[in-house]
Amino acid sequence: MQIVQFGLGGVGRELAHQLMARRDALAARYGVRLDYRALADSRAALIGDRLDPQAVFAAVAAKSEGRSLADLPASRMLTDPGMLLQGKPGILVDVTASDAISSAMAGAVRAGWRVVLANKRPLSAGMGLFQRLTQAGATRYEATVGAGLPIISTLQSLIDGGDRIERIEATVSGTLAFLMSALEDGMPFSRALLEAKALGYTEPDPRDDLSGADVARKALILARTCGWLLTPEDPAPEALYPDALASVDPETFLGRLPELDAPMARRLADAKAAGAALRYVATVSAAGVQVGLQTLPSTHPLAGLRGADNLFSFTTSRYHERPLVIRGPGAGLSVTAAGVLADIVATAREFRD
Amino acid sequence: MQIVQFGLGGVGRELAHQLMARRDALAARYGVRLDYRALADSRAALIGDRLDPQAVFAAVAAKSEGRSLADLPASRMLTDPGMLLQGKPGILVDVTASDAISSAMAGAVRAGWRVVLANKRPLSAGMGLFQRLTQAGATRYEATVGAGLPIISTLQSLIDGGDRIERIEATVSGTLAFLMSALEDGMPFSRALLEAKALGYTEPDPRDDLSGADVARKALILARTCGWLLTPEDPAPEALYPDALASVDPETFLGRLPELDAPMARRLADAKAAGAALRYVATVSAAGVQVGLQTLPSTHPLAGLRGADNLFSFTTSRYHERPLVIRGPGAGLSVTAAGVLADIVATAREFRD
């Protein structure tokens, strides 16, 4: 199986390492041979019939040192991603965070390529693109939601088996889960956020976490996987900061963080008074998607969640009385890359026979 | 894809229903066409190039009414299961609880057949048979452990991706989970068992649950999936009754149940005094398999388990600080059949191209 990989950031480099480390074992086990036909960053690509390991590791090393693939003598400038998708169809892997190759990707699927995504953007843009990419199961995207946790594959199996999804409730942001857990332990919200930032759990501008936008993108992908046709605007996430702080500069935002403490403390106290837990939850059902703070009874699977874990609770026709629940770390380079690699293996096994 | 299904008990009949109900949708979605080439019980088989739905439903109806397939005019006596496995390789589905077709199955795999199992026996017998069946991923067996929960597929993905399994801890018996939960709620063990029996949670002779033998079989399958070569004798499960009650007749056993109350109450009290929970756990690691009662700290994922759910906690190189946890009902006809169907779909998608 020939692989064209776009993206050599943290996940992309880890994926290249894992794939090179596992290819012999996977060939022995499943008779599938995984080779890179191309490795690309946003500017240039290494291209070969089967890139040898030295070339792959040279590309990874260059990117780790902050250089571009364009600096490597063997690379070619990438004027159009489509130039890498000519010839015999293979597996297109997108581990970028951009929209740059979305339209080339749709064309590739039409030509018989399979796609594996860690990039959420192609699936959380227009519904037409989602449908073109996922028709006939052409695209796998486990790592877009919950990183290496088996969320999309589980959901897909339930649906394939004829189960009816009634409701998915999830914490899909480790950062927000960590914040709610710290809040529950008595820490002021501002301090919990600064601690999360120090631990590297937040984006450079923490509003990118607190806005709920990333949670909404994941909820959208879950909903669409269930067959519910939603536009990117449908999930209107609840931001954990007031409008007044939406457009101040990041420095000012961090300085004014303590303004959030009293309102959050009040919401937590209200929940506690009702014997309930306060969680930042994505709820996905046929009725739509809701993303925001929720007060949950203490018996709810999400109420017991501590720390930065993700948790997904699937209530279906068959898992009706008691949900199917999956929980664990939903972020991190190694588990995200492993999620992508598992998708590549599953895809390659389908191509094999 | 042509399917030969052995077994038309509860799971087999539910599977036939689900498959017939889903085949058009699956054909539309993935371009795979699922057809029965044969349906067999222990005595006879319906055979056809593509059995039409009426024939399938007639077979299911006959079995539901307690008749044998041998009573159907269109059936043929099944002298040798191998007679159904001639010709172009397809998918062999074993939803029996017997060893009768194990050796025919190994031959079929050699001839290019793929296998889907809900039957634990072929995988929990000799290690040679396990290896012959699972080489090159020829056999899928999601439903053997945790019914429809995505346990085997998750474990396989972790391993394929190069993760190293350190430890799997699990409650794989809903019956025993229910008993431990009821015990914790203050119910005497004997009463909890009678209640479980009344709810239909136990085997006709409850010692078949209390012996831990079924838990041990599932633990063996998990361990072997990790690549650890164990014999069926390796997991020596702890029985929840004394040797003295092992060979009395079932009536006597039920009559003497209250003898178990004091010892179980004592073990629970000891656990509680240590701030811990008492659970019937299968622990699988490179060091071997342990099956029995364990005292677990209250922070352990298994300690929070209530009711009859199964729970699987995977601690690995990558999920090291915080495990990957999957939880939910691990028994029942509809979820077990759905687990089998998901395996059939995954297998058929590999055959397709």
| pLDDT digit string, tens, across residues A152-171 | 999 999 999 999 999 999 99
The alpha-carbon gap from B172 to the nearest alpha carbon of chain A, in Å, equals 14
What φ, ψ does residue B45 adopt, rounded to 5°?
-145, 145
The DSSP letter of residue A333 is: H
Residue A115: strand, helix, or coil: strand
Smallest Cβ–Cβ distance between B350 and the set A319, A332, A350 belongs to: A350
What confidence category does residue A352 fall into, taking pLDDT thresholds of 50, 70 and 90?
Answer: low
Q: Does A29 touch chain B (CB under 8 A)?
A: yes
pLDDT at B353: 40
CB contact under 8 A, A328 and B327: no
Convert the pLDDT of each residue in A47-63 to its tens digit.
998 999 999 999 999 99
Q: Is the pLDDT of residue B352 over 80?
A: no
Smallest Cβ–Cβ distance between A328 and the set B22, B325, B335 belongs to: B325
pLDDT at B21: 96
**Other residues' Cβ atoms within 10 Å of the Cβ of residue A66:** 6
Q: Helices in chain A by DSSP H: which ranges?
A: 10-30, 53-64, 102-110, 121-124, 127-134, 152-160, 174-184, 189-198, 207-210, 213-225, 250-255, 261-273, 333-352
Residue B186: strand, helix, or coil: coil
CA dist A202 and A200 (Å) reads 6
Q: What is the mean pLDDT of residues B238-256?
A: 95
CA dist B326 and B165 (Å) reads 15
Written as six digits, the tokens of B19 are: 């498959």
Q: Is the pLDDT of residue B182 over 90?
A: yes
CA dist B186 and A38 (Å) reads 63
The DSSP letter of residue A122 is: H
Q: Which of B63, B197, B218, B272 is catalytic?
A: B218
Q: What is the mean pLDDT of residues B11-16?
A: 98
Nearest CA in chain A to B112: A353
**Side-chain half-sphere CA neighbours of B148 within 13 A:** 32
CB contact under 8 A, B349 and A137: yes
β-bridge pairing A35-40 and A2-6:
parallel
This prediction's pTM: 0.96
Residues of A labelled as active-site residues: 218
The alpha-carbon gap from A136 to the nearest alpha carbon of chain B, in Å, equals 5
CB contact under 8 A, B324 and A149: yes
Q: Is the pLDDT of residue B60 over 80?
A: yes
β-bridge pairing B2-6 and B35-40:
parallel
* Average pLDDT across chain B, whole number: 95
β-bridge pairing B310-316 and B324-328:
antiparallel
pLDDT at B170: 98
With contacts defined as CB-CB under 8 Å, which chain A residues touch B315? none
CB contact under 8 A, A163 and B338: yes
pLDDT at A163: 96
Of A97-106, B32-41, B99-108, B200-209, where does mean pLDDT reach its minimum?
B200-209
Per the DSSP assignment, residues forming a β-bridge with B324 are B314
**Other residues' Cβ atoms within 10 Å of the Cβ of residue B346:** 21
Q: Does A297 touch chain B (CB under 8 A)?
A: no
CB contact under 8 A, A157 and B352: no
CB contact under 8 A, B148 and A160: no
The alpha-carbon gap from B224 to the nearest alpha carbon of chain A, in Å, equals 15
pLDDT at A234: 87
pLDDT at A201: 87
The alpha-carbon gap from B167 to the nearest alpha carbon of chain A, in Å, equals 15
Q: Does A68 touch chain B (CB under 8 A)?
A: no
Convert the pLDDT of each residue in A121-147 to its tens digit.
999 999 999 999 999 999 999 999 999
Q: Is B218 a catalytic residue?
A: yes
Between chain A and chain B, the number of residue pairs with CB atoms below 8 A apart is 141
pLDDT at A150: 98
- Calculate ∠ Cα A147-A153-A155, nearest 5°: 105
Convert the pLDDT of each residue in A25-54 to its tens digit.
999 999 999 999 999 999 999 999 899 999
pLDDT at B306: 86
The DSSP letter of residue A212 is: -
Smallest Cβ–Cβ distance between A160 and the set B26, B309, B352 belongs to: B26
Of A187-196, B119-128, B322-331, B343-352, where does mean pLDDT reach its minimum?
B343-352
Question: Which one of A319, A345, A352 makes the best mutation probe of the B interface by having the most chain B beta carbons within 10 Å?
Answer: A319
Of A306, A78, A55, A341, whose CA–CA distance to A185 is shortest? A306
CB contact under 8 A, B161 and A350: no
pLDDT at A353: 40
Nearest CA in chain A to B148: A158
CB contact under 8 A, B338 and A318: yes
pLDDT at A204: 87
Is A352 buried (19+), middle (13-18) or exposed (0-12) by CB count in 10 A? middle
Written as six digits, the tokens of A208 are: 């990118």
* Average pLDDT across chain A, whole number: 95
pLDDT at B233: 87
Q: What is the mean pLDDT of residues B63-74?
A: 95
Contacts of B103 (CB under 8 A, 6+ apart): none
Q: What is the mean pLDDT of residues B270-286?
A: 96
